Amino acid sequence: MNSIQTSGHSMTLKVIDLLKSHRLSLINQWVRQVKEEFGKEVSLSDAEFANHMVYIIDALIEELLTFYHNGDNVRQLPDGDLNYDEGEIQDTKLGGKKHGKQRAGINAYNADKIYWEYTILRKVLVEFLQKQQVLDIDHLEIVTCVIERCTRESMAVFTESLHATQRKLLGTVVHDIRSPLYVISMLGELAAEQHSIVRTPAFGQRINTAAGRISAMLEDMLQTLSVESGQGIEINFDDGDFSGFLSSVAEDAVNFYGERVKLALPDNEIAYVFDEIIFRRVLENLISNAFKYGGKEENVTIFAKKEDEHIVVEVHNFGNPIEKNHWEEIFKYLKSSDARNEKLNRSWGIGLAFVKSAVEGHGGEVTVSSSEELGTCFRIVLPKNQFRSGDSTLVKIE
């Protein structure tokens, strides 16, 4: 290994030129070493690994240029002392921040992997400069300080992105949990009034069902938040009767909202492999939104049918229509109040982001159409034979 000399600024321009001319080859070398380090834990293409990292080298080049232009004003120090003062290093391309945000959206990523990415990048850069015999103490210090600054920026954004996702998931569950809590509260009031329904078996069953749904939601949230990436929901597939499941959801909706719920459901059993807990939350979100944003006296219709190798589910209501240019935006997190009346509850933005992720996790698609004449219809199309019982998948909420 070559020794590191204190040569002042005589090699700085050469270092800059070498970094510029070898920028891509250095990134490619870094990608190979990162993939070797991580193995099969992270499945990314070379381009996905390299995305934004080239900006870190650009930030290093800019810092070296600043060091070079300030060279005449640097006080002379004895050999072995550093001429370079870290000061306020700026990642002008925001590569570190963009890198952290991108990595937060990748399953199996954590802060430790972020740290190792930058550690390997520093190693690649230092070895390259040593091989070119242009690495002096100042240049080593600049490389180290720039890499450390970008590491801190990346890890800070990565961590904040995870926390933001956890807040989204918590908001989704709080929104969804209101429905079964209302059922328990309503039945509790009937019990206090000693209503005749209290003496029927259905009374206790409804309380148990509602409490079970709350328990399932909380457990699902805890499982989701335990995912290392913090960026998705786990879907566990099992055999079931989708027609019977829809009838159960519809019965709960009638108990909750009354006669304004209209049903058009298939009579025959529909065998389907799906996550009943997740999909119940999907439909409860759509139904509650239909009542929340529909006309106060208008009905809400739940429709389902088997169509070739697909299952189609629709939730329809009349009321204030959604403008066409917002049809895609409302499925993004916290977009509802921008798309419609500012006074409306923003939980729609949380719920529909969950709906989209959960439906796509089942291999399906959810769309919306809306007009004053025809009303608003959320349509879900699900493929029938995509998963097997026992399968599981992880999908992101975006």
Contact between 354 and 275 under an 8 Å Cβ cutoff? The reply is no
Q: What is the pLDDT of residue 188?
A: 78
User: pTM, whole model, 2 decimals?
Assistant: 0.51
Q: What is the pLDDT of residue 221?
A: 63
Q: What is the pLDDT of residue 85?
A: 44
Q: What is the pLDDT of residue 25?
A: 92
Query: Which residues lie below 8 Å from residue 75, measured CB to CB, with a gap of 6+?
Result: 83
d(CA 14, CA 57): 15
d(CA 309, CA 364): 12
d(CA 21, CA 295): 64
The per-residue pLDDT string of the chain (398 residues; one tens digit each, 9 = 90 and over) reads 444 444 456 688 899 999 999 989 999 999 999 888 888 777 677 887 887 788 888 888 888 888 887 764 443 333 333 343 444 444 445 668 888 887 876 656 778 888 899 999 999 999 999 999 888 888 888 888 888 888 888 888 888 877 777 677 777 777 778 778 877 877 777 777 776 666 666 777 677 677 767 766 675 566 455 444 445 678 999 999 999 999 999 888 887 778 888 989 888 889 999 999 899 989 988 998 898 888 878 899 999 999 888 999 999 999 889 999 889 888 875 444 333 343 333 334 457 888 898 999 999 999 999 999 999 999 999 998 889 999 988 787 66
Q: What is the pLDDT of residue 353?
A: 80
Q: What is the pLDDT of residue 362?
A: 95
Q: What are phi and psi of 136, to 5 degrees?
A: -105, 180
Query: Which residues lie below 8 Å from residue 149, measured CB to CB, with a gap of 6+?
Result: 89, 91, 96
Q: CA of 31: how far to CAs of 35, 50, 139, in Å?
A: 6, 7, 23
pLDDT digit string, tens, across residues 178-206: 778 877 877 777 777 776 666 666 777 67
